[in-house]
Structure formats: C-alpha cells, structure tokens
Amino acid sequence: MSEILVVAELSEGGVRKATHSAIACARRINELSGGTFSILVLGGPGTKAAAAQLTGFGAARVLSCEDASLGNYLAERYAPVVASAAQGFQVVVGTASSYGKDLLPRVAARLDAAYAADCSDVVSKAGKLAYKRPMFAGNAYGFCTLDTPQQVVSVRQSEFDPAQPTSGQSPVSDVALTPPGAAAQRIEFVSLEQVKSERPELAEARVVVSGGRALKDQFFQVIEPLANSLGAAIGASRAACDAGYAPGDFQVGQTGKVVAPELYIAIGISGAIQHIAGMKSSKTIVAINKDAEAPIFQIADYGLVADLFQAVPELVSALEARKKK
Amino acid sequence: MKILVALKRVADPDNANKVRIGAGGQKIDTGNLEWKLNPFDEYALEAALRLTEDGKAPKQRLGEVVAVTLGPKEVETSLRSALATGADRAVRVEATDEQLDGRLVALALKKIVEEERPDVILMGKQAVDGDSNQVGQILAELLDYPMATFAATIEANAKGLRVSREVDGGVSVVQLALPALVTVDLRIVAPTSVYSAQTDRAFKYNDGVRFAPLPAIMAAKRKKLDTKTLAELVPNTQLTTHYVEFAPPPERRAGKKVASVAELVNKLANEAKVI
C-alpha cells in the first residue's frame, strides 16, 4: 500500500497544470500498489481558494496551508511544511518544474528519503515501485527503485496526461505552518519578475515554434509572426539563448524545458543532442533549415531545406491565407 | 572569501547519443566516450574564480577556491585542470560512480564542508549524465544553509550574495547571508554575470569560461591535492537509489522532405492534421 502526498504548484493564486500531471502519477502509483493519495496546497493568500479547485480529483484529503510567510516562494520556508505534512505518507509526488526541482530534493533531505527526478513513468519491478526517468539527455531511460521508508518523486509534465476530475468531493483540512529552520533566517526574497505574455506556456502549449542561432538578432522578428499565426508558445535552442538572441527561460532541451506539443516547428535549429532531448516526444515535428545535413532532419516528420528568412514569412502568409478561406 | 566548488566528470555530453545499453539492460556503456567535466560545474568554477578576484589587469586573487570531486584516480586529471584554471587546492574522494547516488554524494560533501568551512558552496545545477538536479538542494538542507538554484547572476555585497535565478516564466532574485550554497545555470558565464565585492561594476568578463595558460598547467602539478575515502566521510555507504534496468528511448524515424512551403502547409493540414 502506498499512501501518496501530491504537492500542488500554484501560480498567482491558481493551480498550475503541472499539478494535474503529478496527480496522474499518484493515481498510477495507487493502481500499481494500492492506497490513496492526498494533495497538499501551500502558499500565501489565496491558497484556500486554490485548494478548493482540487477537491474534485478523487483525493482522500486536500490539505491546505495558507500563511503570509509563504507568499513568496522560498524552498527554505516551504520544505519544512511539506516535510511535516508528509508524515504518514510513503511517497511525496510533485512537479518537475523549476519550483518542484528546487523544492523536492530539499524535502527529500529533510525526510532522509531518496529522490527520483523527472519521472516519466512508474512500473512495478520485483514488487517494488520503479521510476522510469530520462538520463544522458534522453538517450537512455533508467528504472530506479528507492530503498528508503519514504520516497520523493518529481513528475515530468509532458509524459503524464493531466488528471481529469472524478465524481465526489475531497474534504479539505488546514495544516499548521511548520516553523522554518536557520536557513530561512538567512535568505531574503527580493523580487520575482515574470514576463507577462498572452502566449500559452511553453510546457503546456499545443504548438511550439522554436528558433536557433541562425536567426541572430532577428529572432523575434522572424519567430513572433509565425507563433502569433499558430497561437503558439515560443522556444529556443540553447545556442540561441547562449548568444542572447532569446531569453534563458525559452530554452528547450535537456537543461531547459521539456515539451511535447502536437506540433513543434524548429527554425534554424541544427538539432544538437541536448535540444532534441527536450522536444523529441512532440507528436509532429517540422524542421526548416538551410543545411540539408542538419541532424534535426533525422527526427523531423516534415523537413524543408530552405533559407528561413524567406521560408518563414512565406509560411506565415500561407497560414494567414488559409484562415481567410 | 573561501569557496568550495563541487565538480563531477561525466561522459562527453556532446556525444550522449553514443551511450549504449549493455549487459541485457543492466548497465549503461559509456566505454566509447571521453570523460569531461560536467559543463555546469565548469561554469561554477568560473563563477568561483570571478568571486575571488578583483577584475583588474592583472587580476588579484582575493580568496581561496577549493575544488572537490568524488571519483576514481582518473578524475584527478579533471581536478588538475581545475587547479590549472585557477583553483587553489583540490580534494578527491575515492569512489566509483556505481558506489554513489545523489544522497551519498551530498552526505560526503556535507562532511567536507564541515572540515573546510567555506563561505560559499558552488556547483552546476545538474550533472548532464544522471540529469537529476538534486545534490545542491540536498546538501543545502543537510547543512541547513540558504540556497539559490539555477543562478544566472551572482553579486557579492556587504550582506552576502545577491543572486538572480532563472525560473519558469521569469527571474527570481534572492539575497543570501553566508555561508550559502548556489547552483549555477548557463548564463552565469556571461560577461556581466558575476561580480566580487571588489570588482568594478563596469568591468566586463570575456564570455564563457577561462582557459589555463601553459605555465599554469605546469604549476598546477605542484598544487595540493588531497584524497579521502568515502567511508571516512559517510559511516553508512549503502546506496538507497538502485538502477535496476535501462532502456533505450523510442526510435523516431525521419520523415519526408517537402519541396516548398505550400507542400508543407498541405501536409500539416491534410496528413498530420495539426493546423
């Protein structure tokens, strides 16, 4: 029997979609080894309202910890709350976003639990839960078992379809704030600057348009009209981010974001191993590149060998013309 | 300022597609790959060097950088290159990759931190072989230290370090009092990313990590390199993470080349049905 605690991720008072993938993973573990799951929602003002949004997913309980001191996320303040709430649970499951990746290993250390990062599936091997996770830039998957009384897992959003609501209503209860340790006294939150965008989030978008270094300082000039036309999120290769043509959080790849949209369009991206690791689960991949030998064509469903500065505007015109039909 | 930089050597990430799964799915075979320092750890070393110098020409050293790694004898090559680049001393903990998991590495590093008492611990945000992104956070919790993961900039000030972090959808800024732990992201080696308290804020570094000049490579051979055993540092060296099986990723076959934008639009609309 595995009693599971899902750590919800909030953003501006709402529940982030990645949380639903974590719930899906918890349900999968329950299918394999029985037990139930509960959800912990923690944060500043608005947390109770967010907890109310999670009562329809079949959780045994929804636990809510709302406190002004949790208003700005700091792992030093969150980890003690999660670790205390985790008492009595065997598995703590969270998101593999920048939030989960920051917080969950700290929680694991507090619980003296082993941690499996970026889990893409859970299976049973010799009676134990084995977490499947990508390694070596996605060039191998490892199945790991964790031999500690409690386990902590972060869940790769692109690999678990978001959990759908079920019938029934989970009871909500408040959990008390756990006073943080010495670390929290020595860190001060200064600011969080979030880029406001009308676009879908990179990890959640149905269509992603990504640009590479070949775009140079015309990155946005070329990519934006196409992304607008498709209602797409914008991504970038590491090389484009490194060179400063695109902001760092646009990076798709092993060390950036992992995406699996229905349509991924790679523009002027050669297809380095580390980029492919972040997008190869996309349903349909299109590559536009001048170099016919670029490795990206080896994984693209549709490849167009062309000068992107001509082909992309042409593609935008063709898409706009279709809309008018 | 005294900085401890944790380094890991990894199989060449630029050839990660040559990783093979051997022995009936029980082992990862990196035999045909070269060993390299984890790129993010190289960035951490560069950040450590920038934090312990004044940015003048010639630069004056203002602190101490100790490089530490866990690995077999061969990893001393990586430590010597860190010493040549500018680290002052090095420590190697004897262990093979098979004897380690993230928790044991953090426990061993904790002991070294207790011995060395650095002001700052720096390392890459993740090692690009296991891709777990966990040791820094676990170590910070074991030490009850404040931390900043995914650091894009670090500025030393009177209160400690001001760090900007790359997070989903934006940038988060925190102020850390020392001692503290920072894990670095790739932007940390940009020209204006790291400033020691003494470096003029108008100073710009060369983009990327520095390279060791030949005399430094010779001099590095005489720098101190201590070795320790894992058992000295961690009483219970039992692994708690076991990789029981490996599998290759699903193959993705190359599709077709299209001749024109018109053909591409047609295929996307009528064949893939995604627009």
Q: Dump the DSSP string for A136-162.
A: GGGTEEEEEEE-SSSEEEEE-GGGSPP
Q: Tell me which residue in A108, A143, A306 faces B245 most closely, judged by beta carbons.
A: A143
Phi-psi region of B150 (alpha: psi -120 to 50; beta: other; left: phi over 0): left
pLDDT reading at A239 higher than 90: yes
Strands B27-29 and B89-94: unpaired
- Tell me which residue range forms the domain holding A94: 4-185
> B252 CB near a chain A CB, below 8 Å?
yes
A170 and A223 in a single domain? The answer is no
A153 and A59 in a single domain? The answer is yes
Report CA A148 to chain centroid distance, whole Å: 26
Cα–Cα distance, B177 to B190 (Å, whole number): 24
CATH number at A251 reads 3.40.50.1220
**So what's the pLDDT on residue A186?**
98
In a domain, B48, yes or no: yes
In a domain, B211, yes or no: yes
A158 and A248 in a single domain? The answer is no
Report the SS3 class of residue A196: coil
Domain endpoint, select from A185, A214, A234:
A185
Residue that the structure tokens 């989903």 belong to: B168
A96 and A51 in a single domain? The answer is yes
Residue of A nearest to B161 (CA): A187
**So what's the pLDDT on residue B58?**
77
Across chain B, which has 275 residues, the per-10-residue mean pLDDT values are 97 90 88 92 98 88 97 96 97 96 98 98 96 98 98 98 93 98 95 96 94 93 97 97 94 89 96 94
Burial of B202 (0-12, 13-18, 19+ CB in 10 A): exposed
A212 and A179 in a single domain? The answer is no
Q: Tell me which residue in B14, B152, B174 faces A187 most closely, judged by beta carbons.
A: B174
**So what's the pLDDT on residue B55?**
84
A137 and A214 in a single domain? The answer is no
Cα–Cα distance, A221 to B124 (Å, whole number): 33
A221 and A175 in a single domain? The answer is no
> B205 CB near a chain A CB, below 8 Å?
no
Whether B146 sits inside 8 A of A184 (CB atoms) is yes
Q: What is the mean pLDDT of residues A127-150?
A: 96
Q: Dump the DSSP string for chain B.
A: -EEEEEE-EEE-GGGGGG-EEEGGGTEEE-TTS-EEE-HHHHHHHHHHHHHTB---SS--B-SEEEEEEEE-GGGHHHHHHHHHHT-SEEEEEE--GGG--HHHHHHHHHHHHHHH--SEEEEES--TTT----HHHHHHHHHT--EEEEEEEEEEETTEEEEEEEETTEEEEEEEPSSEEEEE-GGGGSTTSEE-TTS-TT--PPSS-----HHHHHHHTTS-EEEEEHHHH-S----SEEEEEEEPPPP----EEESSHHHHHHHHHHTS---
pLDDT reading at A13 higher than 80: no
The kind and range of the H/E element at A273 are helix A273-276
Whether A304 sits inside 8 A of B138 (CB atoms) is no
A47 and A100 in a single domain? The answer is yes
Contact, A81 vs A175, CB < 8 A? Answer: yes
A163 and A249 in a single domain? The answer is no
> A254 CB near a chain B CB, below 8 Å?
yes
Residue of A nearest to B15 (CA): A273
Contact, B188 vs B151, CB < 8 A? Answer: yes
Mean pLDDT over each residue of chain A, to the nearest integer = 96
Cα–Cα distance, B8 to B129 (Å, whole number): 10
Instruction: Identify the DSSP state of A179.
Output: P
Q: Tell me which residue in A102, A135, A145 faces B244 most closely, judged by beta carbons.
A: A145
Report CA A72 to chain centroid distance, whole Å: 20
Residue that the structure tokens 């570094």 belong to: B205
Domain endpoint, select from A152, A185, A218:
A185
Contact, B115 vs B226, CB < 8 A? Answer: no
A170 and A258 in a single domain? The answer is no
CATH number at B43 reads 3.40.50.620
- Tell me which residue range forms the domain holding B191: 2-270
Supply angle C-alpha B2, B37, A280, rounded to 5: 125
Residue of A nearest to B172 (CA): A192
Contact, A201 vs B169, CB < 8 A? Answer: yes
In a domain, B159, yes or no: yes
A36 and A154 in a single domain? The answer is yes
Report the SS3 class of residue A301: coil
Residue-wise pLDDT for A43-72, tens only, equals: 999 999 999 999 999 999 999 999 999 999
Give how far B218 is from chain A: nearest CA, Å: 32
Residue-wise pLDDT for A247-286, tens only, equals: 888 999 998 999 999 999 999 999 999 999 999 999 999 9
Which residues between 66 and 85 in chain A have a beta carbon less than 8 angstroms from any beta carbon of chain B?
Answer: 73-76, 79
In a domain, A83, yes or no: yes
A262 contacts in chain B (CB < 8 Å): 274
A110 contacts in chain B (CB < 8 Å): 141
Between the alpha carbon of residue B208 and those of residues A301, B195, B200, the distances in Å are 35, 15, 19
| ipTM, two decimals | 0.96
Residue-wise pLDDT for A219-234, tens only, equals: 999 999 999 999 999 9
Report CA A49 to chain centroid distance, whole Å: 23
- Number of neighbouring beta carbons within 10 Å of residue B269: 14
**So what's the pLDDT on residue B217?**
94
Whether B174 sits inside 8 A of A249 (CB atoms) is no
Report the SS3 class of residue A220: helix
Best mutation target, A17, A74, A102, to test chain B (most B CBs within 10 A): A102
A83 and A132 in a single domain? The answer is yes
Supply angle C-alpha A157, A161, A164, rounded to 5: 120
Terminus-to-terminus CA distance in chain A, angstroms? 57
In a domain, A192, yes or no: no
In a domain, B230, yes or no: yes
Cα–Cα distance, A144 to A137 (Å, whole number): 17
Contact, A219 vs A213, CB < 8 A? Answer: no
In a domain, B275, yes or no: no
Whether A303 sits inside 8 A of B254 (CB atoms) is yes
**So what's the pLDDT on residue B123?**
98
Contact, B258 vs B264, CB < 8 A? Answer: yes
- Dihedral, CA of residue B263, residue B264, residue B270 and residue B274, to nearest 10: -170
Give chain A's domain count.
Answer: 2
Residue that the structure tokens 């076991």 belong to: B242
CATH number at A12 reads 3.40.50.620
Residue-wise pLDDT for A67-123, tens only, equals: 999 999 999 999 999 999 999 999 999 999 999 999 999 999 999 999 999 999 999
Fill in the amino acid letter for B59: K
Give chain B's domain count.
Answer: 1
The 10 Å CB-count burial string (b at 16+, else e) for A107-127 is bbbbbebbbbbbbbbbeeeee
**So what's the pLDDT on residue B210?**
95
